[in-house]
């Protein structure tokens, strides 16, 4: 089992040199816990997340009414989450097998590329959702061209194409490779030079998280400020027709969406950033190597949970989604869909926003990174 933190090394000889250069503490017992717990966690996330996202896609696909602009983005986000979760069981089994990949080169490359594709696609769909919300609440002037359904569909297509472009290195260099030091054949990124490793990590960290996250935070908090300003104006005017409470609920909901996204993905990308520093030897030693291995594992387990949370957010915080789900299932269940009525009561008592929510996407439903060689991105 690899204990070094040198990521995506292009040859096993280099990895052996690195690992033999320093005597590190034996953490076999901790890795045994990882082998036992993490696959079970992944399986649980996959079952819940796939059912939830399939429910979202099922509802939007079978509803007779036309999709709103926000729902176009939501449907694409659910599709990205579903594809991402479909690939995870292969990696759960890979961990059970102590990173000895049992599925062959084709599944190694295809599942890794699918995960990378949907990771990038999801974060930029979230940016698109945030832009749409920003234009709706902050710039209330006419944005018909930008907010047309045809434009929204085109933006979704561009997001998928951009994700495909950024996933090309994964498709080209992901392969099953034998590592004699650990006597395993692992599904690894086999880059031609170490410079490729650092570059790929930088792109993943900056283009896949830092830039879109900055945009999402700016857009959503601008929306929050605008809603608060309108609420203050309503209170100052004392206009009875002014629905201040809805603005307050929307403010809380937007903050919740952004907060959940940051809680799920910031820890993982923080450790990715530290790993870049480790690559260029700004930080060194066994302490940092083991911290990064286990830190990225923790970040991964937290990050994939986001793909399960998204459908829950849709149901509990989206009045229109609940209405559509009730209409769809009433076609199959004679008494309708009473569970959604219960959720409606809970929703009313907790003060969630009753409008359509654009969730935190996947957000990026990103890659699993547990050890030195076996990163998904």
CA atoms of 328 and 343, how far apart (whole Å): 16
Per-residue confidence (pLDDT) for residue 306, from 0 to 100: 86
Is the pLDDT assigned to residue 170 strictly greater than 90?
yes
Q: What 3-state class would DSSP assign to 102?
A: coil
Q: How many CA atoms lie within 13 A of 352 on its CB side?
A: 22
Is the pLDDT assigned to residue 364 strictly greater than 70?
no
Percent of the chain with pLDDT over 90: 29
- Answer for the pair 73, 358: CB distance below 8 angstroms, yes or no: yes
Give Cα 263 to chain centroid, integer Å.
11
Domains annotated for the chain, with CATH where assigned, are: 12-350 (1.20.1070.10)
Over the range 116-138, which residues count as b (16 or more CB within 10 Å of their CB) and which as e? bbbbbbbbbbbbbbbbbbbbbbe
Mean pLDDT of 155-159: 95
Whether the CA torsion 243, 248, 253, 254 is positive or negative: it is positive
Is the pLDDT assigned to residue 320 strictly greater than 90?
no
Is the pLDDT assigned to residue 177 strictly greater than 90?
yes
Q: Lowest mean pLDDT: which of 73-77, 129-133, 246-250, 292-296?
A: 246-250
- Answer for the pair 78, 360: CB distance below 8 angstroms, yes or no: no
Q: Between 174 and 238, name the one with better pLDDT.
A: 174
């Amino acid at each position: 089992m690899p204990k070094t933190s040198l990521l995506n090394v292009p040859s096993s000889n280099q990895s052996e040199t690195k690992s033999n250069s320093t005597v590190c503490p034996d953490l076999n017992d901790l890795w045994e816990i990882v082998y036992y717990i993490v696959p079970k966690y992944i399986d649980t996330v996959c079952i819940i997340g796939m059912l939830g996202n399939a429910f979202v896609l099922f509802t939007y696909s079978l509803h007779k009414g036309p999709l709103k602009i926000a729902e176009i983005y939501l449907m694409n986000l659910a599709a990205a989450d579903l594809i991402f979760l479909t690939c995870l069981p292969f990696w759960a089994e890979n961990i059970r097998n102590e990173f000895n990949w049992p599925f062959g080169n084709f599944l190694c490359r295809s599942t890794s590329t699918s995960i990378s594709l949907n990771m990038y696609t999801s974060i930029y769909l979230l940016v698109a959702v945030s832009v749409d919300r920003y234009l709706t609440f902050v710039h209330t002037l006419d944005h018909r061209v930008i907010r047309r359904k045809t434009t929204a569909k085109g933006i979704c297509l561009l997001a998928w194409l951009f994700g495909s472009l950024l996933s090309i290195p994964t498709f080209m260099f992901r392969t099953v490779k034998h590592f004699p030091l650990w006597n395993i054949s692992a599904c690894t990124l086999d880059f031609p030079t170490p410079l490729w490793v650092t570059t790929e990590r930088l792109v993943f960290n900056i283009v896949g998280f830092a830039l879109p996250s900055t945009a999402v935070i700016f857009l959503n908090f601008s929306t929050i400020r605008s809603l608060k300003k309108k609420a203050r104006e309503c209170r100052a005017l004392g206009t009875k027709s002014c629905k201040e409470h809805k603005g307050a609920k929307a403010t809380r909901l937007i903050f919740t969406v952004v907060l959940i996204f940051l809680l799920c993905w910031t820890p993982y990308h923080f450790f990715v950033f530290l790993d870049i520093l480790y690559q260029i030897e700004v930080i060194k030693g066994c302490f940092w190597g083991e911290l990064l291995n286990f830190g990225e594992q923790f970040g991964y387990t937290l990050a994939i949970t986001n793909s399960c949370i998204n459908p829950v957010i849709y149901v509990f915080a989206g009045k229109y989604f609940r209405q559509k789900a009730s209409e769809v299932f009433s076609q199959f269940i004679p008494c309708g869909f009473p569970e959604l009525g219960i959720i409606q009561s809970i929703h009313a008592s907790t003060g969630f926003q009753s409008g359509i929510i654009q969730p935190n996407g996947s957000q990026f439903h990103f890659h699993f990174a547990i050890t030195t060689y076996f990163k998904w991105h």
